[in-house]
Amino acid sequence: MKIGFIGLGNMGGPMAKNLAAAGHDVTGFDVAGVTVEGVAQAASAPDAAQGADIVVTMLPDGPILRRVAAEVIPAMQAGAVLVDCSTVDVESARAVAEQAQAAGLGFVDAPVSGGIGGAQAGTLTFMAGGAERDFATALPLFEIMGQKAVHCGGAGSGQAAKICNNMILGISMLGVCEAFGLAQKLGLDAQKMFDVVSTSSGSCWSINTYCPVPGVGPKTPADNDYKPGFAAELMLKDLNLSQAAAGAADADTPMGAHAAALYAAFVEGGGKGRDFSAVLPWLAGRHRGE
């Protein structure tokens, strides 16, 4: 396929590279002028979109997505599909879907899970919303960039699934960090704690795969001085999106609200640029009054 790829940052760059390595004709654009191996460089977002069968966007937030969509949709050929892999608010995803459909284009909102490592390894999970035919068109690309793609429903459903998933992740990571902090205070060895919990009812991804304690379990950002990984400010962004969605849907999410408040305090208190699991040493330091 001929693919336009807009947004070649820490996530988009490796994703575009994997598509090019698989033999697709990929033209990319990034406002920072980033270049990616195997990807032709366009002078603008509309230039990258022109003549493409599929245009993929990986952008920071909803307002930027809306702005880029307004530029690229008029440049896209009829019948092409716009696939947005950003994590944005559900309303922005649905608004862009309506614009694309009005222009005779397909649209899929397909946020991802798996972080920078997953983007590089091509093991992302895609949560997709949109028409079945548009999902089927994009599926071969998802299979290159990731290991799993789930069609969650109509436009905006991918974003809904992503923010619900990451609300669980934020809440569970805080619980894991609090438990390890308590275990330490009670004199329990961190490795013994891991050995018990990882095979017991407290088992979860935040323990088994992404343990926030250095030297315990599989290698994680905790073993690399908490360099992300998944940055704390991105977790805060997703938790804020979940709370905005909860407010709009009149859903009661007290744990999600508390997680958002704690991550806001962490980011403001020096956590920006650190992995979201670095909330563990932050909580310990907060207890000591640091």
Report H helices in the chain: 12-21, 45-49, 62-72, 90-102, 115-121, 132-145, 157-185, 190-197, 205-208, 232-249, 254-266, 279-287
Per the annotation, the verdict on 272 as an active-site residue is no
Report CA dihedral (159, 67, 27, 126) to the nearest 10 degrees.
Answer: 0
Alpha-carbon distances, residue 131 vs 82, 112, 142, 190 (angstroms): 12, 18, 16, 47
Dihedral of alpha carbons 61, 114, 269, 181, sign? positive
CA atoms within 13 A on the CB side of 192: 6
Question: How many residues are there in the chain?
Answer: 290
Helices (H), 114-230: 115-121, 132-145, 157-185, 190-197, 205-208
Candidates 17, 148, 162, 227; catalytic one: 162
What residues act catalytically? Answer: 162
